[in-house]
Structure 1
Amino acid sequence: MVCLLRRPLYGLKQAPRAWFERFASVVTAAGFSPSAHDPTLFVHTSPRGRTLLLLYVDDMIITGDDSEYIAFVKSRLRDQFVMTDLGPLRYFLGIEVSSTSDDFYISQEKYIHDLLVRAALGDERTVETPMELNVKLQLTDGDPLPDPTRYRHLVGSLVYLAITRPDISYPVHILSQFVYAPTTVHYSHLLCVLRYLHGTITRRLFFPCSSSLQLQCYSDATWASDPSDCRSLSAYCVFLGGSLIAWKTKKQTTVSRSSVEAELRAMALLTAEVTWLR
């Protein structure tokens, strides 16, 4: 009977959808409305302020101006689900949050530490930069790894780490292009990124409470930087006041025939991001 119960709860394809519909019906009855930009973000607005509820599977963040309504929502959720209130936000999906009366900090220090343990570097060396300047890696560099599983696992972990570490966005973008057939040269550059993280494990993103609500955006592009297909690279970052809130490094989908064309494609990518943010 236990196996039959676990099967419909966790083993069926429709289980996640059924769970989300059940949860959404409860919070909607409590006064929330789903956001048009993210279906897992629920918003409640009243004369006393705005309340936000963000859901990821069965973990959630509740924040807002109306403390009385937040207490009411918690009470309604306890009536419907077995729920644990962990207090002020400190840790969520591998992301650490610390705050004072004037600012917030976001980091993944524990995540980096666990990643370095899994990588088993074998020494305590550190480097100043995650990747050397003007490195152009190719599929044929070095000898193929006999077992690429570790390389794929570490690069996948770095992709998630880039959520709070924009300084590794570019090298992760480069290394992720070789997960299909990594070589010893690619793996050596991966170890360089890990040694850089070992020396900068305490770095955090800073969000001051006094920051303005004005968006400032910057974009850049490299022209025909990939020797294998001559495609260019787009990159951008977006600040809300003095806080970095969005960034991306992405290879362009078509070949740009001039540096101006590459720059315009990067600006178009940034414009789409800013339109969504606004």
Structure 2
Amino acid sequence: MRKYGYCQSNSDHTLFLKHRQSKVTTLIVYVDDMIITGDDTDEISRLQEQLSTEFEMKNLRGLKYFLGIEVARSRKGIFLSQRKYVLDLLTEVGLLECKPMDTPIVKNHRLGEYSNQVPADKVRYQRLVGKLIYLSHTRPDIAYAVGVVSQFMRNPSEDHMGAVVRILCYLKSSPGKRLMFSKNAHLNIEGYTDADWAGNILDRKSTSGYFTFVGGNLVT
């Protein structure tokens, strides 16, 4: 990619960018899958030809599915979802037929680490929370709950596992909920943040929350 004039991102080493005549071409790669996009159609065609001389490649045309993320397009913009990912996860843990929950976490929960807590399966807990962390990329509605359960990865209890199961039961109520990136005429960056005050019941630390918009679309 460097030979073809692309710069490797310092924040994500799988991302390569090339600016040419006020246009940009982007390539991101994961093992043997890659996405090529941008507004420089000539450069995109040239890059595809150059890469095909280096590797055996197949062009799948418009992006529809990548690493568990489903992509759909409309006149309003692009929709990202992980419906299949959610259903596969529920099937894996035996909760596909569970009763859906209205919220991903109990209001005013008192999750913490206590001396009398009953230990949970640590490996299973870490695996499930890891999958939920990845899912929260397109499901910001579970981000807070996932942030809470991820605090107990080192020493999970049955109460913590119960909180994870509740998140899964919440997902059953809307497995196909989508995140929309609409077409807007600007790339303004807006950020919002807030925190509770001494919300942690054990060390009295505050918990922060934030979200960032680029061009009117939620990115973090």
What TM-score, normalized to structure 2? 0.91
The residue number in structure 2 matching 1:79 is: 53
Q: How far is 1:208 from its partner?
A: 0.8
Aligned position for 1:68:
42
Q: 1:144 is aligned with what amino acid?
A: P
1:126-275 equivalences under 5 Å are 126-140=100-114, 142-145=117-120, 147-210=121-184, 212-246=186-220
CA distance in 2, matches of 1:178, 1:38: 27
- 1:92 lines up with 2:66 in the alignment: yes
Aligned pair count reads 219
For 1:207, what is the secondary structure of its paired residue? strand
Calculate percent identity across the aligned residue pairs: 39
SS state of the match for residue 225, structure 1? Answer: coil
* Counterpart Cα distance in 1 of 2:217 and 2:16: 24
Q: Does the CA-based 8 Å contact 1:48-1:66 persist in structure 2?
A: no
Counterpart secondary structure, 1:28: coil
- Describe the superposition over 1:147-177 as per-residue Cα deviations: whole angstroms up to 9, x where unpaired: 3332222111111111111111111111112
Aligned to 1:110: 84
Structure ranking higher in helix proportion: 1
Distance in structure 2 (CA, Å) of the matches to 1:81 and 1:230: 55
Conserved 8 A contact 2:87-2:96: no
**Aligned 1:11-90 pairs, distance under 5 A:** 27-47=1-21, 49-90=23-64
Q: In structure 2, how many angstroms separate the alpha carbons of the residues matched to 1:68 and 1:117?
A: 44
- TM-score normalised per structure 1: 0.73
Q: Residue 213 of structure 1 contacts residue 240 of structure 1 at CA under 8 Å; is this kept in 2?
A: yes
Q: RMSD of aligned C-alpha atoms?
A: 1.9
The 3-state SS of whatever aligns with 1:52 is strand
The whole-number CA distance in structure 2 between the counterparts of 1:31 and 1:151 is: 44
